[in-house]
Chain A
Amino acid sequence: MTQQNIHEEFLRLTGFEEEEMGRYLPEWRKASEKLGLTEEDVRFAVRERLPEHFALELEGIRKLLGCFVKETIDLTKAGEYKSRGTKIVYGILPAVLHFYYALKLTAPEKIFVSFPDIFITFVMNGFFHKLAPYLEEAEKTGIPYGCRHCALNKTRYAARRLGVIPSPDISWIWGFVCDEGPKTDEFIRLYHDPEWKTYVTRLPHDQPLGTVEDEVIERVEYLAAQMKDGFESVQKEIGIKVSEETIRGVIRIWQRYAAKVSELGRLMSADPQPLGAVSGRFFWEGLFTPLNTGMESMEKALDITLEEVRQRVRNREGILPQGAPKLLIYSIHPSVPWIARMFEENGVGIPLSEFFILTEKQLRPPTFEDPYMAAAEGWLRSSGMVNPGYQAEQICEKIRTHKFDGMVFGLMDFDRWLGSSHRLLGRMVEEKTQLPVFYIEGDNWEDRDYSPEALRTRIESICEIMKIRKG
């Protein structure tokens, strides 16, 4: 197999059409080189990683992977865009993508938007299992290994150091959840790249346990004011003006997409489980991460997948036997795809990630006309963004709605906000539901510390307990 052929094969496997090859093959080869991928890495993805973990027999899933490949190719071209005068805007997860998309839609040729670490992490680890060189680059240049810093932050920094991405014209960095994300930007600017310009937006975690935060008007107003202040500063920085109508337009696109993803969530809950947990998981990224290449390809892939999965449900086809126990998991990331597979191989499904599925309230239209108030309210309706008391209530609703037999927390050791409450949440959810709740210490972004060998016993034990309980 020549180098040309393995790259071609990779693109075909990830849903590229014949007529796209002429354009994308040279671009992909150039991008893969820039990312630090060898021919062997691509061969590993084609022969092992992707077939092992993704349902490549489904056209929709192949095209979904292709969206991430296209976006990553585009990201490696950000430096070229910048040299041609395009304004580069970065962000991090979690954020409300409406604002970033609205920038893109207002001036498609003049603006490049990306959450760069997400795509590099997902593609480099999820497809090639090769994020380690990025992490090691960060660890030897100022973000030490021992403190359990987040792999996303290390990757963003390392990608800049390695010249994969350029300095942004503005990185609008959200610290509504974690502290390390925004402070990493401050670190990058002071330690490595004085051109790395940042605008920070924060919200203190100061609501008592159980507060329904989206109903505390003062909090919604403050968050809306923070969002507005940040968005206006970004527009000023890059010299464009986004209309409120454009933001509303993005919200409509988002709601349409969210409804479709929710349908996929319902289908994933079917018995038997029609699709492995990792295969469709990238669709949920579309709810939170802006794609500079646009939402259309992702939505098209979702439409195809929905049809294919509906067919599987109609045919009662599943990846597990009917009646297999199923657990809600806090979050499963395709960057470490073997975790989900290990559950499935042991006869237990983890079809959905709690962080990404929506409650009944989240699917309701916003109470407010003002787009900032609407976005703020939406944010405060999301389980991961609020106090653990309210979060536990939402988790219980999701468990009831999708008829889960229990829940798995953990795998978020790197996150001092989203991961730090899991043990407490586990207790709250167990008290409320009387269902078994488990905790796994691990890292969803990278598996250098928590290898399959390290987690196998824990996962197998959980699966055995669940099978015994369910009889």
Chain B
Amino acid sequence: MNEVKHTYGFWDVVKSLVSGLRLTWRHFKNAKNRRTPEYVTDENYFNQPDGLVTLTYPYEAIPVPDNGRYRLHNEIDDCIVCDLCAKVCPVNCITIESVKATEEIGVTSDGTKKRLYAPVFDIDMAKCCYCGLCTTVCPTDCLTMTPVYDFAEVDIKNMIYHFTDLTPEQAEEKKQLLAKQQEEMAAAKAAALAARKLI
């Protein structure tokens, strides 16, 4: 450790005043250089020694890492409504209602068969703690973290994201279809039971 030497002489003071002015002048002179929005793995990321460090944020932004955890997105076409994400969520921010389909709806992009409709698939991003557990348990990888982090809202209700692809009318229709099918099945079952009793 070097001992800090205090100097009080007239020329020492003048020297320190001038060195202060030179410091600010150097920064002023280098103000023509700007920081560039580099990705964190870029070798220049920590190597921008002079010039302005601020970015004009909404127009420029430092890219976020690929494994960063920000806003959730559910690709409903690939969702099999398995409810795993809602179960694993530590803050219960995911609300899912499911309606069984009367027939097979289709297949997801990884080939899993879809058998459930989701009339409600809400994620409350105001509650979300960004742990990312839901994305790890998702069997079809339809629930993902996106690089979007600037999504503040004036009304907190808008923080609830609705991912369902069914309108309320469609959902009602699907429910009635299911009820009808179940009624028919129950009726068929009852008929079969009655027929068996007769024999």
Say whether A and B bind each other. Answer: no
